[in-house]
Chains A and B, each alone.
Chain A
Amino acid sequence: MSAFNAIGEEREIDRDEFTPEIEPQATWCPGCGDFGVLKALKQAMPEVGRTPEETLLVTGIGCSGKLSSYFKSYGFHSIHGRALPVARAAKMANPDLEVIAAGGDGDGYGIGGNHFMHTARENHDMTYIVFDNEIFGLTKGQTSPTSPKGHKSKTQPHGSAKQPIRPLSLALTSGASYVARTAAVNPNQAKEILTEAMEHDGFAHVDFLTQCPTWNKDAKQYVPYIDVQDSDDYDFDITDRGEASEMMQKAENALYEGEVLTGRFYHDEDRPSYQEEKQATGDMPEEPLAERYFDDDYEWERSYDLLERHK
């Protein structure tokens, strides 16, 4: 008996299934890069072959966090910076779910930075999409952790004195086993990368460059992208940590000099996911925990059997 019949259903999947029938009025501004993420994600789902009902999309708070409102699946619009801890526990409770977490650069690299580091370290089998628009969108244009040094905003009127976060390098050093960067204006690559990220068996981090025409008018998101995989100038082995790290640093330096490098930066297919590691130590059941509550035949152990040590 399965309690979750939607899981593993094999059939043709249409990307329109992921559109709510009555689409809530999208509150994103015209021209916002977030539309690109939504579209790429909907296009990737049929490729991955997962239905809306076996998919759980957990988002943080921000314009980016609204993704779960416009994407029809099981969704969880959580709190600022906390999408990852919610998502990874859902994955642990039911590893059969396709779990995706998403949020902004403020959400993921600022307030949720600690969770980012630790979720990557644990290498949970999930995909994390960060809408990187180098700005706080929803709260009206404050400096974000990826805003360039010198960036002026209402909260940093004299220009930010801080170096921006290096999300790709941070993901790699923290332990993510798949790291890529794509961009809303590059829909084909975005779809491919999201597909690959979801198919990857481990923590896949996608730094998704999105333009915010409302608050970040002169950002370099409009500059043409270079796909590192397509260009002869960048030859490196994405399975090699050292080479990947070097390429990431190149990309991170270049971004603020007006050159936008995107593509796959790191892919480690050998590292076991957290779930596999935890099962190997005997700390996690083989069967999904969530199934058990629907299984009438399951024998529940009692604390009474533990009392021997208290006598």
Chain B
Amino acid sequence: MTDDELIWRIAGGSGDGIDSTSQNFAKALMRSGLNVFTHRHYPSRIRGGHTYVEIRAKDEPVKSRGDNYNFLLALGDSFARNPQEEAYYGNEEIKPLTENLDELREGGVIVYDSGLLDASEIENFDERAEENDWHVYDLDLRGLAKEHGREVMRNTAGVGATAALLDMDLEHIKGLMSDAMSGDVLEANIQILEEAYESVNEDYEHTHDLRAPTGTQDEEQVLVSGSHGIAYGSLDEGCRFISGYPMTPWTDVFTIMTQHLPEMGGISEQVEDEIAAASLAIGASHAGAKAMSGSSGGGFALMSEPLGLAEMTETPIVLVESMRAGGSTGMPTKPEQGDLEHVLYTSQGDSNRVVFAPGDAAECYRQTRKAFEIAYEYQIPSIVIYDQKLSGGHQTVPEEVFDQEPNPDIGSVTTEQDLEEAVQEAGRFKRYMYDDEGERGGVSPRSIPGQKGGNFLASGNEHNEVGHISEDPDNRVLQMNRRMSKLESIRDELAENADHQTVYGPEDAEYGILSWGSTKGVVEEAVDVLNEQGHSVKAMNVSDMMPFAKDEVTAFLESVDEALVVEMNATAQFRRHVQGQLGRFGEKLYSLLKYDGNPFEPREVVSGFESRIGGEADLSQYNVRIESATGD
């Protein structure tokens, strides 16, 4: 827990502008050459209710939220409540201060808005501050904002105070403000910013040591979320059709896509439900567009039948599954990795789909592109699964990650010239031609409605080569085998052309940590800490869930004595998937599970590892659980 990093937490009422303020502050830190990672804590309410955003900034790469934090800007919650509500929720106004104290590091800094918050109302506040060596600054941010403009601008005053206390230059912050606003509003904000800055420098004695770290990052960086990664990957892969129905956190991708599709000549449709959403994607793709849809747990459940239809008719689509804590509607604003099995196995019959689980924003971009490429090349649905944490959390990513050529190729589609010579039967195109020798990797030729000589019937019922419904046993086996063989071809292609699994840490390490999806970053941070403490550990993050990255995971597990499998769910879905796919390693695997609605912190992974492998550690202070694998 060193202070070569700033972990700034801005706390207030939901709807008080915390989001935009923190976005700008995070960008200012990025512009000063630092790496940034943000974590957003939401209540499941639209307005009011205690919320915070945490920004972690460091010169070295930052991959997750940190252990606790060291700077609190407590703004107070401005949404007045009636007495009944207050009786139910307690006094929300002071919550931005009280709710955050437990996680503030020793020696940390507190700035609070004395215009809204009264620290004397808080039990033992002074004692706690003294005990923990907290440095407390009370400023009438609200008063200052009111004087120059409007009360909401107290966020700006808070940022000005932060900058003064951390010895930051105001230039980047001002630059961002003038990007976002103009005229009187800009002027008022700049005045408030400067006045807060100056008054802190003049009227307060700085008793703390914490300073903003110096950034040396000179590569161009952008601050994006995993949802941006997915949306931008889709756009670059030529996706120009999206259909969806709002559900948190899937709405993030849906909204970003919708913002850009019309201007890029695409179509976005908000429809009546998720069954329709997936069905529209199928219809658009059938007619020759690159199409996507998606949802979160409950909405994805509704897509189960259309997903099967896409598999059976071999209509390429990409679905996004943005996980939140379940079951049922669960905890809408909290992350969990509890939908893996849902996504792998939902829909009837022997399922045949591709599933990728990117681990960070850059992977979201790359793997979404791959998901489209595979879907259209192999005529199969692809699913990108990620979670609320990766969906909304922003992180700095080198700009060059997005500097890629677009790929509008529609995949394995026949041209009209080819159709002239294509094999026909009874005036219909052999859309579902057998692949007797396995030459085409299970892929059959595809035509698009409107193409001359290509007419066929797509059917969710078992069908023969021209698409007519058929219950002929021989045809059934041939068609099943052809469709199923695609997964092996895709596995080969991924092994050759994709690098989705990442290994981190010393190659010859004794122990391993295995993770999937968004837990990648926190595990890598834990690996660094563990190795510094004298353990010998490396990590692997797996993205290819189906077809499963068998060879890579096998090699990794063979190279270590034991491995801890870290995931955010209660039933160890990923560990069981690994065991199921590999059929071995049960004796080597232990799970570290967390499912309280909050993402892992590095120290939880460190302690989890130590409790199991390195000897002893007390896990009772955390909401995590260790479980050993059964069988082998």
Interface string of B248-291 (1 = CB under 8 A from A): 00000000000010101111110111011101111111111111
* Interface check A79, CB cutoff 8 A: yes
B232 engages A306 (CB within 8 Å) = yes
**Is B41 part of the binding interface, using a Cβ–Cβ cutoff of 8 Å?**
no
Identify which of residues 180-204 in chain A touch chain B, using a CB-to-CB cut-off of 8 Å. none
B34 beta carbon closer than 8 Å to chain A: no
Is A97 touching B281 in the complex (CB atoms < 8 A)? no
Pairwise interchain contact B241-A89, C-beta atoms closer than 8 A: yes
The answer to whether A12 has its CB under 8 Å from any CB of chain B is no
Check if B451 sits within 8 Å of A94, measured CB to CB. Answer: no
Q: Is A86 an interface residue (CB 8 A)?
A: yes
Q: Does B153 contact A (CB under 8 A)?
A: no
Q: CA of A302 to CA of B406 in the docked complex: distance in angstroms?
A: 6
**Bound-complex Cα distance A90 to B416 (A):** 19
User: When the two chains form the complex, which single residue of A53, A85, A117, A278 contacts B455, counting CB atoms closer than 8 Å?
Assistant: A53
Flag if B460 contacts A78 (CB, 8 Å). Answer: yes
- A56: interface (CB < 8 Å): yes
Contact of A93 with B309 at beta-carbon distance under 8 Å, contacts A4-B450, A307-B222 already known? no
Contact yes or no, B265 A75, CB < 8 A? no
Give the CA-CA distance A300 to B460 in the complex, in Å. Answer: 33
Interface centre among A52, A69, A76, A284 (most CB of B within 10 A): A76
**Residues of chain B in range 1-47 having any CB-CB distance to chain A below 8 Å:** 27, 31
Using CB atoms, name the residue of chain B closest to A55: B449
Across the interface, do A3 and B451 meet the contact criterion of CB distance under 8 Å? yes
List residues 18-34 of chain A with CB under 8 A from any CB of chain B.
20-22, 24
The minimal Cβ–Cβ distance linking B45 to chain A, given in whole angstroms, is: 28
Is B137 among interface residues, defined by CB-CB distance under 8 A? no
Instruction: Contacts A75-B467, A283-B268, A300-B238 given; indicate if A93 touches B289 (C-beta within 8 A).
Output: yes
Chain A residues closer than 8 Å to B277, beta-carbon distance: 85
A254 within 8 A of B: no
Q: Interface segment, A157-165, A239-247, A288-296?
A: A288-296
Contacts of A76 in B (CB 8 A): 283, 286, 313, 457-459
Interface residues of B: mostly helix, strand, loop or mixed? mixed
Q: Is B506 an interface residue (CB 8 A)?
A: no
Pairwise interchain contact B459-A56, C-beta atoms closer than 8 A: no
Complex contact B287–A307 (CB within 8 A): no
Chain B nearest CB from A242 CB (Å) reads 27
CB of A293 within 8 A of CB of B272, answer no
The reply on B468 being an interface residue by CB < 8 A is: yes
From B279, B288, B452, contact of A86 by CB (8 A): B279
Q: Among the listed B284, B453, B455, which residue makes an inter-chain contact with A72, where contact means beta carbons less than 8 Å apart? A: B455
Contact A72 B406 (CB under 8 A): no
A53 near B454 (CB under 8 angstroms)? yes
Residues of A within 8 Å of B269, CB to CB, are 89, 92
**B556 within 8 A of partner (CB):** no
* Chain A residue, CB-CB nearest to B281: A89
Which residues does chain B contribute within 8 Å of A74, judged by CB atoms?
A: 449-450, 454-456
Q: Hey, which chain A residues are within 8 Å of B560, CB to CB? A: none
| CB neighbours of B228 from chain A (8 A) | 310
CA distance A115 to B274 in the complex (A): 11
Known interface pairs A92-B269, A118-B272. Does A82 touch B279 (Cβ–Cβ under 8 Å)? yes
Interface residues of A in 39-77 (CB under 8 A from B): 52-54, 56, 58, 61, 66, 68-69, 72-77
Encode contact with A along B187-200: 1 for CB under 8 Å, 0 otherwise.
00000000000000
> Within the assembled complex, what's the spacing in Å between the Cα atoms of A82 and B405?
36
Q: Name the one of B224, B271, B450, B452 contacting A97, with C-beta atoms under 8 angstroms.
A: B450
Q: Check A310–B467 contact: CB distance below 8 A.
A: no
* B206 proximity list for chain A (CB < 8 A): none
Query: How far does the alpha carbon of A73 sit from the alpha carbon of B448 in the complex, in Å?
Result: 12
Interface residues of B in 178-231 (CB under 8 A from A): 220-224, 228, 231
CB distance from B225 to the nearest CB of A (A): 9
Provide the residues of chain B in CB contact with A24, threshold 8 Å. 468-469
Contact A292 B240 (CB under 8 A): yes
Asked if A92 and B262 make an inter-chain contact with CB atoms under 8 angstroms apart, the answer reads no
Cβ of B427 under 8 Å from chain A? yes
How far in angstroms is the closest Cβ of chain A from B466?
Answer: 8
The answer to whether A90 and B453 have CB atoms under 8 Å apart is: no
Known: A24-B469, A79-B306. A290 touches B450 (CB 8 A): yes
Measured CB to CB, the closest approach of chain B to A126, in angstroms, equals 11
**Interface digits, A1-23 against B, CB 8 Å rule (1 contact, 0 not)?**
00111110000000000001110
Which one, B416, B425, B449, B461, contacts A94 given CB within 8 A? B449
Does A270 count as interface, using CB distance less than 8 angstroms?
no
Let me know if A301 is at the binding interface, CB within 8 A. yes
Q: Does B410 touch A at the CB level, under 8 Å?
A: yes
Contacts of A224 in B (CB 8 A): none
Q: List 20 A-B contacts (CB under 8 A).
A: A3-B451, A58-B283, A85-B275, A87-B283, A89-B291, A92-B269, A93-B285, A93-B289, A115-B272, A283-B262, A285-B265, A289-B241, A289-B266, A289-B267, A290-B287, A290-B448, A302-B405, A306-B232, A306-B235, A311-B220
> Other CB < 8 Å A-B pairs besides A53-B453, A54-B449, A77-B459, 13 of them?
A4-B449, A4-B452, A69-B468, A72-B427, A75-B459, A77-B469, A89-B281, A92-B267, A118-B271, A285-B267, A304-B236, A306-B260, A310-B222
Please report A residues at the B interface, Cβ cutoff 8 Å: 3-7, 20-22, 24, 52-54, 56, 58, 61, 66, 68-69, 72-79, 82, 85-94, 96-97, 114-115, 117-118, 278, 282-285, 289-290, 292-294, 298, 300-304, 306-307, 310-311
- Give the 6 A-B CB pairs with smallest separation, nearest first: A4-B450, A89-B283, A290-B288, A303-B232, A85-B279, A89-B280
